[in-house]
Chains A and B, each alone.
Chain A
Amino acid sequence: MGDPLLATLDGDWSAADPAALTPDHAARLAELEQLDPALVALYRRGSEVLAGAPDSAALRDRHTALLGRERGVITLGLAAMPTLTVEERKVRGKGLNLVKRWLTEVHDARREALALESEAADALDVTLPGRRPFAGRPHVLSQVRDDLLDLFHGLGFSVYTSPEVELDEYNFGKLNFGPDHPARDAHDTYFAGPDVVLRTHTSPGWVRAMESGRPPLRLVFPGRVYRAEAVDASHMDQFHQIDGLFVDRNVSMADLKATLNTFARAIYRADLPTRIIPIYFPFVEPGVQMDVQCVTCSGTGHIATAEGGKRCPVCKGTKWVEVLGAGMVHPNVFRAVGIDPEEYTGFAFGMGLERIAMGRYGIPEIRMFLENDLRFLEQF
């Protein structure tokens, strides 16, 4: 192999891996072998040299030696062409370009293989935990409230906000609680002044809404309420209610029942039995309580135990669980806000957020809601 082209490749190249040789262009090689065996030898040797490069630095060097634009073997070969005959030039020119293309293929293949190898060497332990940012959660009572507000929004109820610190007159008087009304006893009241109270229910909102707007009124009143009660697992002195109010010319208990059942089907279960029964509140007439069937005992009043069964602790054996109070707006309430009870009728309802949340999530302890233990809040 005295060809000067090959002489430039003399030196200490590491041995090629014959298996890594790129496509052996058999037919073309055979053809070229006939015309210019030196070029074929160049290709074979060059392939070995490139494919045998142990790392990317060596590959870069060998690429320069073989295919380098200025001093590469191919470039030199092309540069030496003027010394050849016209016939030889024709063959070699074509052949060199062919070999150049083939060697470039070999080089590229080797470069890819080396890149893969080196990336694989940097392999990560993908099971390492990520660098995790904090994720905030809405409070569980917010979730229940927003579910309810979304539901009532869909039924055409807008939100009305009224003060938490309220006049006695709005919390009681205009809601048909006389000054010596015994039903005031059911509202252990925090006083902030002689006639200023922390509202004991969200119903004062109706009075304010009816004083400031005319029917039709279709509103909900979410908010915090207060009772001067000793705190224990099922009583807080600060808790939350949502009242609702619909006043129009011909609103009836049948409309009320439809709204309450729509609520119960959406918030509890579509097929959970409900019932409405009479109850007394000073501000409605007739008064309504809605119960849903006890989910704990499936409406049987009993639960199975190892000893053969006992009275259901949730419904106390009554098979029903109270959900909310409601009724038709009392004519005295209408009169107090200057609405003629002969012209308009209306229904109202009120429910406790905590009661719904405790039922829905099985929360046994009402004090958890205002404690804000992250371990508690983040699970909802």
Chain B
Amino acid sequence: MKLPISWLRYWIELDATPDAIAEALTTRGFYVEGVEQHGRAYPGIVVARVLEANKHPNADKLKLCRVDAGGVELKIVCGAPNVTAGMTVPLATLGTVMPNGLEIKRAKIRGEESEGMLCSARELMLSEDHSGILELTELFAGQALTIGAPVDTYFPKPDAVLEVEVPFNRPDGMGVIGLAREVKAALGGDWTARGKALLAARAEGAPGSGGASAAFDLSIADAEGCPSYLAQVVEGVTVAPSPEWLVTALAAMGQRTINNIVDITNLVLFEFGQPLHAFDLAKLEGPAIRVRRASAGEKITTLDGKERELTEAMLVIADAKRAVAIAGVMGGANSEVGEGTRDILLECAWFQPALVRRGSKALALSTDASKRYERGVDPGIGPAAAARFLGLLLELCPGAKLGASKRIHSAPAPLVLPLRPSRCSRLIGLPFTAERCEELLRRLEFAVERNGDALAATVPSWRLDCTLEDDLVEEVARSNGYDRIPEAPIHTGGAFATRSPRERVVRRAREAMMARGFTEAWCPTLVSEAEALACAPLLGDEPNLLRLLNPMSRETEVMRPNLLPGLLRSCAHNLRQGASAVRLFEVGAGILPRGEKLPEERLMIAALVTGGRWRHTHDAPATAPAHAYDARGMVDFLDAKGLWEAWLSEMRVDSPQWRAYAAAGWKPGASAEVAVESSRIGWAGTLGQALLRQWEIEVPVHVFVALLDPLTEAASRTTRARMPGRFPSVRRDLAFFVPRAVTQAQVQGSLAAVAGETLSSIELFDVYEGPGTPQGMKSLAYALEFQHVERTLAENEVQQLQARMVAAVARDCGGQLRER
């Protein structure tokens, strides 16, 4: 809502600066987003006529002028090339302070006296034009200029316009008088005499003076939707362009002029917050006004020229035959006031906010009127607003006269709310007395009755937001000033902070992933259906997605089923930007519908790696042995798995089992699931090329996903301390030939199962297939370490264990010991 200070001054006595008014409104909850200066004053600058412009005797580029400043002749030295005798120009007289702060002084320029300055448009800060002196007859074309008169006479009065953000609950702030009330309460002062008179005026449906027009019929079928309707006929109006002052006033509000009648309705809307509508009486069938619900499928062409189909949920104004307006939203073209209009019927009504809101929403049609009605117009302002309209109309159309009028009105009972000063003190945190509460509320025009410590406040008709005692507490706090609220020492009421096991797991999971060189990503939760469908099967989920009913784009139409769509999008972005390696992870929820109202939000961590093994490395042949691990190589499945294993171990996941796992999207044979005991907690592997192509990724990408809720329990388990063994351990290396299809995990499982607790460590150190391996077999070599907690192992014990292990591999895996 725009608030021109000049308009505010029309209503209230006020000498505060625009900034002080802005501050007052802001600190009372009407946030002023900006103060805009419109025009400025030019004290000391007058209209002058150039009588003579001659070359300066001592300078080629200067002119020596004689100017008439209104009965006084002055000598002026001027450098502008366009100065000629006969021009009408702005003259800054001696002592003038220019808009840029420069003071004009008597001066001698190249030996010639100068008694002022002729001004360019830029010097007046009207525009950037500095090519010559401003010709006032052009600027004020059509106006008779008096030589010697201040230029301010011809410029529009300077004004400041505040841009006010009106809170949803304060529709009274959508009118100048509503904001005037707040400014008045904040800064003191009173209504102007004319303001007082206009607020007291009442047009309440008294029969008009002229009886020439036929009586019309007014009926309301939906009294709940429209408890109040005033219809007033005005005869003999002249539809014409609005006068300059009205056009300017509306322009300051950002409203263009239409014609005098419509412009006055708009002016009253901006002043009182009361929408008005004028019908062309001749176009109303009956003539009649019927306020009713629209019938299903009923159509109306609104003033914006669009045909709109209505529903029974909408309230319309109809004549005897058809709808002529959508109540509170917009008038119909069929009854529009135009050039030929002679008699009008003015509507000043109060419609149920919810009804207007539903209509406006359903039609996607939001207007200055609907915005006010849906938040709640002051139900008591109608008569004064109508009187203001009629007063202005009769002023602009002297030939017009009031005709018949009717009013159906059921006044809402004023609301009286109790207020305990103790409640104010308790909520605000400052002591309040009954007297103080009363005083603060009275400033806001609440009528207050005080009975000892009990207050009863009558809520003004425009304060529809006040319905509870606590609303009055807010008025007291606001009126007293939020800046006076003290800071109490912080107390917690006995509540104390804890970090839940889940929070701790998330924190540890993030830290452990960062320690592996992964940067944390926050990815969009809203993704495209194609992205979601590609990633859901990776974790074995049905392609069952949570879809938005009203997505903004195809890119954001479903909720992610897991974190991979976002990570892949981010990976592709970084590769496109030239990254040679990407390591990203995210902690977040995958959204999975599950047949209930709310979906499952499955907390997980997902990580993605592609590119080199090191962030930076280079060939350093002098120090790198020939057989060295290729430090410049790309991360492969086992590098990635090592990262995931390290993460799992840091998350205290004991002996995770890795099992081959196949699902759409993975590279065949390069994906695994991770289980702890019988429950699956994660997935890892290399993504398939078909899936990667969807993100235009052409390099191998390895990913890992772990569910965090199952880890919460594991991570918060207390470990029983186990003392390291102190007796010498025995190390043995055993290599086996096993059929190629047997996995390492099977062999190791078989070895461990028979070895018992004495086997303190088992590690695979070689996988070999080549010359020397029997057909269809491969060689797996293990380093075994045996240790007894209580004593030194005897050689024959180790021998026996070893024999049992060899037998187990033969029995379980079809393997045989590889002899040296």
Contacts and interface: CB of A to CB of B under 8 A. Distances in A.
Nearest to A229: B552
B527 to A, nearest CB: 11
Given A216-B494, A372-B523, A286 B549 contact: no
Contacts of A130: 616
Given A258-B488, A277-B26, A316 B493 contact: no
Contact of B492 (A134, A155, A231): A155
A142 B510 contact: yes
B483 interface: yes
Interface stretch (A1-9, A97-105, A187-195): A187-195
Interface string A157-198: 111010111110000000000001011011000111101101
B377 to A, nearest CB: 13
A166 to B, nearest CB: 7
A132 interface: yes
Identify which of B470, B547, B585 gathers the most chain A CB atoms within 10 Å of its CB: B470
Contacts of A191: 548-550
Contact of A377 (B27, B354, B498, B520): B520
A183 to B, nearest CB: 4
B290 interface: no
Nearest to B591: A165
A287 B492 CA distance: 21
Interface string A126-162: 0011111111111101100000000011111111010
A54 interface: no
B548 A218 contact: no
B485 A190 contact: no
Contacts of B617: 131-132
Contact of A134 (B169, B496, B615): B615
Interface in A355-378: 369-375, 377-378
B548 A190 contact: yes
A306 interface: no
Interface in A194-247: 195-196, 198, 215-218, 224, 226, 228-231, 237-238, 246
B108 interface: no
B29 A180 contact: no
Contacts of B520: 136-139, 142, 377
A293 interface: no
Interface in B550-601: 550-552, 556, 559, 566, 570, 573-574, 577, 579, 581-585, 589, 591, 597-599, 601
A165 B590 CA distance: 11
A289 B598 CA distance: 32
A336 interface: no
A129 B618 contact: yes
Interface stretch (B205-213, B473-481, B721-729): B473-481
A253 B521 contact: no
A46 interface: no
B32 interface: yes
A22 interface: no
Contact of A279 (B167, B375, B500, B522): B167
A288 interface: yes
Contacts of A288: 482
Contacts of A186: 168
A280 interface: yes
B618 A373 contact: no
B619 to A, nearest CB: 10
B499 A153 contact: yes
A274 to B, nearest CB: 10
User: A interface, by DSSP: helix, strand, loop or mixed?
Assistant: mixed
Interface stretch (B378-386, B422-430, B733-741): B422-430
A131 B629 CA distance: 13
A36 interface: no
A251 interface: yes
B591 A136 contact: no
Nearest to B597: A196
Contact of A372 (B169, B473, B522): B522
A229 to B, nearest CB: 8
A350 interface: no
Given A192-B548, A278-B482, A133 B522 contact: no
Given A136-B513, A190-B548, A261 B487 contact: yes
22 contacts: A134-B583, A139-B519, A155-B497, A164-B601, A185-B168, A190-B550, A192-B549, A215-B493, A216-B493, A230-B552, A246-B492, A252-B426, A255-B491, A277-B27, A277-B31, A279-B31, A288-B482, A345-B426, A372-B523, A372-B570, A373-B573, A375-B577
Minimum-distance CB pairs A-B, first 6: A134-B517, A254-B429, A252-B429, A278-B29, A136-B514, A248-B493
Interface of B: 26-29, 31-35, 167-170, 353-354, 357-358, 374-375, 426-430, 465, 468, 470-471, 473-474, 477-478, 482-483, 485-500, 502-503, 510, 513-526, 546-552, 556, 559, 566, 570, 573-574, 577, 579, 581-585, 589, 591, 597-599, 601, 614-618, 620, 623, 631
Given A183-B168, A280-B465, A377-B520, 17 more contacts: A134-B518, A156-B497, A158-B495, A180-B354, A193-B549, A196-B597, A216-B494, A237-B552, A253-B429, A255-B490, A258-B487, A258-B489, A278-B474, A280-B170, A328-B470, A372-B570, A378-B519
